[in-house]
Amino acid sequence: MTFMDRDKQPAAWAPTSLQAPWAARWLGVAAVLALAVTWGLVAAWWTPRGPLTTSEALSSMTICFAVGGLAGLIMRSRWAAVLAPVAFAVSFELARLDVTGPMVDGIETSFYGLIAFITGRGFHAVLSLVWLVLGAFLGAGLARYLRASRADDRVESSRAGTIVGRIGTVAIALVFVATFAVIAQPASTDPIVDADGNEVVGSVAELTTVEANGHDLALMIRGHSVDNPVLLFLAGGPGGSEMGSMRNHLPGLEEHFTVATWDQRGAGKSYPELDPTDTVTLDGYIDDTFVVTDYLRDRFDQDRIYLVGQSWGTTLGVLAVQQRPELYRAFIGTGQMVSQLATDRIFYEDTLAWARENGDDALVADLESIGPPPYDQMLSYETSNSHEMSVYPYDHSMNSEGEAQMSENIIADEYTLIDEVHLLGAFVDTFAALYPQLQDIDFRETAAEFEVPMFFAQGAHEAPGRADLFDEWYPMIDAPIKELVTLETSGHRPLFEQPDRFVEFMVDTVLARTRPTA
């Protein structure tokens, strides 16, 4: 017997005016479809990439639970647990077809593709479809309970079934509350403390946001004294976030600088600010850098600040100090980029040669099929660039970061659970939006003269695709001060791989040569 053949008598609790519609099951089906489709359309407009903040996640979960419950109550059948989620999912996907990026595009079987699926559609399913299903079960159970309130139904009602239903209801409620509580945990950053565990007077340790060109961009600011020089850190990527790395690896830097770690638009805690992607431009990121810089200058009453870039952050940093040198006391590049396109082509050729030497025919075929960069599809870069540690091996255990590299950012107090789930997704979506715009950059042709001191901390084991280009570019640089240090056990991330040596360089060389006199 299907749900369409069950008792078609109106529920005893239903008002007389609604008894006829309640008895017509097809009207219930139509109402559930309309309800689920409407919510799918609203959700696609509100959160086209799925919930990206704690408030969005909690709201989505609650609304889905309520919509599912109402669907089950209207249909008086567990079939609502199928109909409502399917209608929601279809309408949601159709309504966001104009949204682009690996997290919302077709499903790919590569590593990045699986990350995009799990942290995108997979996580959204947990926050929406699961609660639509559970809500529908509760709604259908409530409808049956209300029907059983009639005398003739009470006779047919099973005591065991009633007990099981109540236990199920309590279990679902407990799971909802527990999930809500876990997701609701706020982000925080530990205070700056002395050797006795007391908070240092005059220190700063906070998470905040800065409004830049219509986007609220996240900042972590930490330092032992607000009177220290201010340092703005630009993470790599595009789309990378390093709040966990900066706090974990570089507490020594906080003793000498007020360190501001910025999640650029689309990265980390600023992932919700990525859309619309057709407004993502290189010039926009440069201008955002100036806005954040001015915020720090005004807040800490300093006419110039230090700018530190890592990987892609060095590209952004060089462009910033070129355009607005009056804002910066010095630039410090680590894992310095010179030309993204030239580096990618070297990586491609070296990876292809390595695959042939090692008999990896599948990788050879993949590389030959996509050809050398640049690529239109972000996931093609995974094929040519993701074998760096194998193509250019060195002993990662020699440095403090080891082979784990950025893993400390996956679980860090500075991120909410929603932030953590989306860290890698933010990287792939932001990379896809911005990286194609970096293909014409080559500092060997456009960046030789600077009005600010230029410092570089490079890893001795940096990949040749980056190191060789830097070795060509560095002698071309003409700046008031120019200094290079090579950290002996580091690769592409020397500030995190040898943090003590990096702090020593920042204090004994950079500060010593650029600190303003009283």
CA–CA distance, 261 with 217 (Å, rounded to integer): 11
Phi, psi values for residue 266, rounded to 5°:
90, -5
Identify whether 199 is part of a domain: no
Q: Kindly report whether the global pTM for this prediction surpasses the value 0.85.
A: yes
- At 6 the pLDDT is 45
- At 397 the pLDDT is 76
- At 283 the pLDDT is 98
Q: Give the residue-averaged pLDDT of 26-47.
A: 94
Write the Ramachandran bin of 64: left for phi over 0, alpha for psi from -120 to 50, otherwise beta. alpha
Amino acid letter, 385: N
Whether the CB-CB separation of 347 and 467 falls below 8 Å is answered with no
Rg of the chain over Cα atoms, rounded to whole angstroms, equals: 28
Q: Give the residue-averaged pLDDT of 57-76.
A: 94
The Cβ of residue 439 has, within 10 Å, a number of other Cβ atoms equal to 15
pLDDT at 367 over 80: yes
Cα–Cα distances in angstroms (integers) from residue 424 to residues 112, 410, 497, in the given order: 9, 9, 21
**What is residue 110's DSSP assignment?**
S
25 and 125: one domain? yes
**114 falls in which pLDDT band (50, 70, 90)?**
confident
pLDDT at 337 over 80: yes
Q: Give the residue-averaged pLDDT of 95-106.
A: 90
**What is residue 74's DSSP assignment?**
H
User: 3-class DSSP state for residue 145?
Assistant: helix
Q: Give Cα 451 to chain centroid, integer Å.
A: 35
- At 23 the pLDDT is 58
Task: Work out the burial of residue 251: count CB atoms within 10 Å of its CB; fewer than 13 is exposed, 13-18 middle, 19 or more buried.
Answer: middle
369 and 482: one domain? no
- At 469 the pLDDT is 98
- At 240 the pLDDT is 95
- At 457 the pLDDT is 98
Among candidate residues 183, 215, 244, the one where a domain is terminated: 183
Identify whether 494 is part of a domain: no
- At 20 the pLDDT is 45
- At 375 the pLDDT is 93
Identify whether 189 is part of a domain: no
pLDDT at 357 over 90: yes
126 and 157: one domain? yes
Number of domains in the chain: 3
Q: Give the residue-averaged pLDDT of 67-83.
A: 92
- At 165 the pLDDT is 65
pLDDT at 440 over 80: yes
Continuous segment of H or E residues that includes residue 472:
helix 464-473
List residues bridging with 258 in a β-sheet. 230
37 and 138: one domain? yes
Mean pLDDT, all residues of the chain: 90
Q: Kindly report which listed range (153-167, 213-227, 273-287) carries the lowest average pLDDT score.
A: 153-167
411-437 burial string, b = 16+ CB within 10 Å, else e?
ebebbbebbbbbbbbbbbbbbbbbbeb
222 and 173: one domain? no
Q: Give the residue-averaged pLDDT of 322-331.
A: 98
Percentage of the chain lying above the pLDDT 90 cut: 75
**What is residue 478's DSSP assignment?**
B
Q: Kindly report which listed range (108-112, 183-187, 206-210, 491-495) carries the lowest average pLDDT score.
A: 108-112
Q: Which structural domain, as residue segments, surrounds residue 12? A: 7-183
pLDDT at 4 over 60: no
Q: Give the residue-averaged pLDDT of 385-398.
A: 86
- At 207 the pLDDT is 98
173 and 221: one domain? no
Q: In what order do the strands lie in the sheet with 258-262?
A: 204-212, 215-223, 258-262, 230-234, 305-310, 328-334, 454-459, 482-487
| 254-308 pLDDT tens trace | 999 999 999 999 999 999 999 999 999 999 999 999 999 999 999 999 999 999 9
- At 149 the pLDDT is 59
Identify whether 25 is part of a domain: yes
- Check which CATH number belongs to the domain holding 459 and give it: 3.40.50.1820
Q: Give the residue-averaged pLDDT of 452-480.
A: 97
The Cβ of residue 405 has, within 10 Å, a number of other Cβ atoms equal to 16
Cα–Cα distances in angstroms (integers) from residue 456 to residues 258, 404, 413, 505, in the given order: 20, 24, 30, 10
- At 517 the pLDDT is 67
pLDDT at 169 over 90: no
Whether the CB-CB separation of 99 and 49 falls below 8 Å is answered with yes
The encoded tokens of residue 503 equal: 């702090």
Identify whether 499 is part of a domain: no
Among candidate residues 385, 414, 441, the one where a domain is terminated: 385
Q: Kindly report which listed range (3-12, 47-56, 132-141) carries the lowest average pLDDT score.
A: 3-12
- At 399 the pLDDT is 79
List residues bridging with 484 in a β-sheet. 456
Q: Among 339, 334, 307, 337, which Cα is nearest to 323's?
A: 307
The encoded tokens of residue 397 equal: 């255990």
User: 3-class DSSP state for residue 218?
Assistant: strand
CA–CA distance, 502 with 485 (Å, rounded to integer): 9
246 and 139: one domain? no
Q: Are strands 215-223 and 204-212 parallel, antiparallel or unpaired?
A: antiparallel
Q: Between residues 400 and 238, which one has the greater pLDDT? A: 238
Identify whether 326 is part of a domain: yes
The encoded tokens of residue 99 equal: 């949204």
- At 1 the pLDDT is 43
Whether the CB-CB separation of 103 and 170 falls below 8 Å is answered with no
The encoded tokens of residue 4 equal: 């369409």
Q: Among 518, 508, 507, which Cα is nearest to 231's?
A: 507
411 and 357: one domain? no
The encoded tokens of residue 357 equal: 């030497």
**27 falls in which pLDDT band (50, 70, 90)?**
confident
236 and 269: one domain? yes
Identify whether 418 is part of a domain: yes
117 and 237: one domain? no
Q: Give the residue-averaged pLDDT of 368-387.
A: 91
For the chain, give the number of residues. Answer: 518
The encoded tokens of residue 315 equal: 């590209």
Q: Kindly report which listed range (17-26, 188-197, 411-420, 430-439) carries the lowest average pLDDT score.
A: 17-26
Q: Give the residue-averaged pLDDT of 350-355.
A: 97
46 and 147: one domain? yes
Tokens 């640089």 map to which residue? 477
CA–CA distance, 222 with 207 (Å, rounded to integer): 9
pLDDT at 476 over 70: yes
66 and 130: one domain? yes
Among candidate residues 116, 148, 183, the one where a domain is terminated: 183
Amino acid letter, 416: T
Identify whether 279 is part of a domain: yes
Whether the CB-CB separation of 337 and 319 falls below 8 Å is answered with no
Longest dimension (CA), the chain: 93
